[in-house]
A = this chain, B = another copy of it.
């Protein structure tokens, strides 16, 4: 194992340099990597999402070296055979492919560039994949810092919640050097059903943020519309049907309708429990807002959607599914 890993690292290094020059990867090297593929994989961040993701790596036969700031979060994967180490630097010392899954930008900065961060002990040629949802500008910074150490950083945020993480059905949106995508996809395919290449570093985040901004707009829009229609005397199921066969159709109206009783198997039918929390949506919309501000892009509806989810968080909706905006808007005056 040790030997293979060293070789892989060397190959990585050379491939990386090759990649810089010719943009296309030598077939032979890819084959070598493929042979080396069941070497150890590092994993940093064993929260609600990271835990099932790491388990899926173990299921696919990858030896996992993991760490988390909360030791108790490591127990489950440890029992399943993962080796637990003290900090991200130790992970980087033992594995040349590392996946990170963290709550926000500051955590990512710390895990990569902090005193016990990955980059303190990263091997040349290592592949570092960050699945956190963060500001694409931070992804770019991390990529630049990794490149200085001879490592490759890719951003690969996910779409799909804890359920999809458990069943290995996540969608990964991947940004980074195209010639590394095959290597990244090999690992990510163990945890997701779709692995989409989006472009240069940061574009994975960009795609994730864009999707979620449009999702939030569609969800609030659907909620306003359903509420207005109901008050105007329309039956909610009928209105949903009309919208879904017309130009008002969207994912929130036809797949995840926010009105209780219109669809089955969605959070609106279960008092808005489960699903994608309002607080998480507010976080993603904050990222969208920041990137829009930084790129001087007008996003009037995205910006107002952000404000609405922010107000909801302050009014007790933080942990309800984000489709509960229907309930938030619905409440009748005088009640």
Contact = CB atoms under 8 A, between A and B. Distances in A.
Interface in A295-310: 295-308, 310
A173, A295, A303 interface centre (most CB from chain B within 10 Å): A303
A206 B194 contact: no
B247 A302 contact: no
A293 interface: yes
Q: Which 7 A-B pairs have the closest CB atoms?
A: A250-B250, A217-B221, A214-B248, A206-B232, A211-B248, A214-B225, A210-B229
Interface in A230-255: 231-235, 238-239, 242-243, 245-253, 255
Contacts of A226: 210
Tell me the number of copies of this protein.
Answer: 4
A288 interface: yes
Given A306-B303, A334-B318, A286 B297 contact: no
Contacts of A227: 297-299
Given A228-B291, A232-B202, A234-B203, A298 B214 contact: no
Contact of A242 (B196, B217, B286): B196
A228, A231, A253 interface centre (most CB from chain B within 10 Å): A228
Given A242-B198, A247-B251, A224 B289 contact: no
A297 B331 contact: no
Contact of A247 (B159, B242, B282): B159
29 contacts: A198-B234, A198-B242, A199-B233, A199-B235, A207-B229, A207-B242, A210-B234, A211-B225, A211-B246, A212-B248, A214-B224, A215-B246, A217-B224, A221-B221, A221-B302, A224-B297, A224-B300, A224-B302, A228-B288, A249-B250, A250-B250, A279-B333, A282-B296, A290-B290, A298-B311, A301-B304, A303-B303, A313-B333, A314-B333
A146 B253 CA distance: 36
Nearest to A232: B206
B331 A314 contact: yes
A296 B315 contact: no
Secondary structure class of chain A's binding surface, majority of residues: helix
A202, A227, A282, A301 interface centre (most CB from chain B within 10 Å): A301
A220 interface: yes
Contacts of A207: 229, 234, 239, 242
A29 to B, nearest CB: 26
Given A229-B206, A231-B297, A300-B307, A248 B199 contact: no
A47 interface: no
A318 B333 contact: yes
A78 interface: no
Nearest to A217: B221
B239 A210 contact: yes
Interface in A85-107: none
Given A250-B249, A311-B329, A234 B214 contact: no
B250 A218 contact: yes
A136 interface: yes
